[in-house]
Amino acid sequence: MKKEVKLSGIPIVSGWGMGVAYFVGRAVQQTSTVSISRQDVGNEIMHFNEIREQARKEYRQYITDLSDSSTTDISILNIYEHILDDPAFIGQVVETISTKLYDLETSIRLVSNDFVKRFESAGTAYFKERSSDMVDVCEKLISYLYNDDGQAKSFVEPVVLVVLRAFTPTDILAYDKSKIQAVVTVSGGKTSHAAILARSYNIPVVSGIRNISESIKPGDQLLVDAEKGSVYVRPSSIVVARYKKQAIDLSALNELKRKWRRPVYTKDGIEIDVLANISLPEDISDAHENGADGIGLVRTEYLLSNRKEMPSEAIQYEYYKTILEKAGNKHCVIRLMDIGGDKVPQFFDMPLEFNPFMGWRAIRIFLERKDLFESQIMAILRAGNGYDYSIMVPMVTTLQEWLEAKAFISQIAQRAGVRMPRCGVLFEVPLAILEMSTFMKEIDFASIGTNDLIQYLSAADRNNAKVNYLYNPIEPAFLRIIRTAIRCANDNGMPLSICGEMAGNPIHTVLLVGLGLRRFSVIPRSIPVIKEIIANISYAEASESTSHINAIESTEDMAHWLKTLNKRLLGDVLQKLPITVDV
């Protein structure tokens, strides 16, 4: 038997899955030209219209089948109907058949390639991900040329889908979803339609795997760890045992959920808030079930997904109202839309940017497009009447930028005749967090977004497999910045949370409490685990233990010190918890 091979990629949808490798789809780029005679042109065009209608009916059937699912955003399928009816797409295929005398498959592939290249050259992650929509339609149409009835295919055993191109929704919908354990793909982002669908079915996805066909063969046993972005080909018994432990840990996690539907205190009586990060109204139930002490982050840009235009104030109002109603008497922090970077709405006319993550984004857009700013603020203010909520502004860089945004919110509140809500800053730009003290008199609360902050400080994209080794939250210089920020907030009596991935990693809990953090904001399923750790440590002891970290100079030494710290203050608590991180 061949030895185990471990491949590294980017976690897109978290979770674990194990099954045999099943390769799906054909890459659009893999095509050879086939010529036809001029007398066959009419038949090819008629066949094109027939298979477009077949595809349209199939997508409509998918929508009908999924319409009863409250967790699935069926609107992600509507775009395929638009592509099928797009005059530009239809016209180019017909023209290629008629003038170049290529057969239908060749013509569809060549035109699809052209569309994909246009999307890829658009310069933003959003349009790059939209290229997968074109791939999906292309492959759906071509499937009918090979007498593929388009019906969901069943598997005898659990499988891991292996995709040699951009991952598309039909890669899931075309198969028996109960047998799909995970997806491994060359490309596909967290905001793609396929990722949204996979998330709704709890199917783990790892992207960014290079040279897949060289490492994975059809029928190979695969174990996918989409927590860390690892794919094990022909996994060893040790790795499989770890996976099976993960399955057993579900019962332990359910027990922790029941235990921690209440506030948590350290061993010496210090209360620590553990809040939930959410995107959808449906996520509130998950937050309650896991014992959230409040909602620390509502990612409002979900509203923009798959829309042809900016959602109206009325639509936004209903969205925020539903979230606040479900949150009940718990405090809710609503973050303004973080438009830009990899979250570019389909309808939004963004300028071509070589580095959109550091370009026209979030508050920078709002301060220029006051109409969008006003619409969201007015909807939040109306929906928030009578509820305990606050507004958080992302990507603030300077104090002047913040003062302008705050003044505008105040003007809208006065015009609406409602009280000015509590407003705070999400510190994720290095310049802002290094000058945090200048913001103290002008904000009501603060939060630290470690995900973007680490990227900007290290100049390393965490979604880039080539450089994400530099994305390290225990880099000593980064921890000194976090410590200074927490001290600044505490000294000024300012509520401060950390809402990035660092806060949800159990390995960092003792460290963050020791640095003075009293408010964590994490994904719902992490809440019981974080609370269990907090209940097993002394705030004073953790604080004393972290008082000398300035003397640690390397990331390697910091990792060793942190492991020793966890062992000394927690004993075997981490080993007993239902977690998959390396303790």
Measured CA to CA, the distance from residue 529 to residue 38 in angstroms comes to 68
In contact, 255 and 532? CB cutoff 8 Å: no
In contact, 168 and 112? CB cutoff 8 Å: no
Q: Could you read off the pLDDT of 426-466 as tens digits, one per residue?
A: 999 999 999 999 999 999 999 999 988 998 899 877 656 56
For 412, the token pair is: 């809208």
Q: Could you read off the pLDDT of 50-67 as tens digits, one per residue?
A: 999 988 888 887 777 665
| Residue whose structure tokens are 């396929």 | 194
Query: Whose CA is closest to 110, among 33, 27, 187, 163?
Result: 33
Say which of 138, 332, 488, 499 is annotated catalytic: 499
CB neighbourhood size of 154 (10 A):
9
Report the topology of domain 5-235: Glucose Oxidase; domain 1 (3.50.30)
User: Please, where in the chain does CATH 3.50.30.10 lie?
Assistant: 5-235
Q: Could you read off the pLDDT of 90-145 as tens digits, one per residue?
A: 999 999 999 999 888 889 888 888 887 777 676 666 566 667 778 778 878 887 77
- Alpha carbon of residue 294 to chain centroid: 21
CB-based burial label for 156 (10 Å; 0-12, 13-18, 19+) = exposed
Query: Whose CA is closest to 506, among 433, 428, 576?
Result: 576
Measured CA to CA, the distance from residue 65 to residue 78 in angstroms comes to 14
Q: Where is mean pLDDT largest: 25-29, 151-155, 232-236?
A: 232-236
Say which of 138, 193, 331, 423 is annotated catalytic: 193
Q: Could you read off the pLDDT of 381-436 as tens digits, one per residue?
A: 999 999 999 999 999 999 999 999 999 999 999 999 999 999 999 999 999 999 99
Q: How many residues does the chain have?
A: 583
User: Please, where in the chain does CATH 3.20.20.60 lie?
Assistant: 248-576
pLDDT of residue 325 exceeding 90: yes
Model pTM above 0.85: no
CB-based burial label for 257 (10 Å; 0-12, 13-18, 19+) = middle
In contact, 559 and 536? CB cutoff 8 Å: no
Domain 248-576 has CATH 3.30.43.10: no
φ/ψ of residue 576, rounded to 5:
-85, -10
193 annotated active-site:
yes
499 annotated active-site:
yes
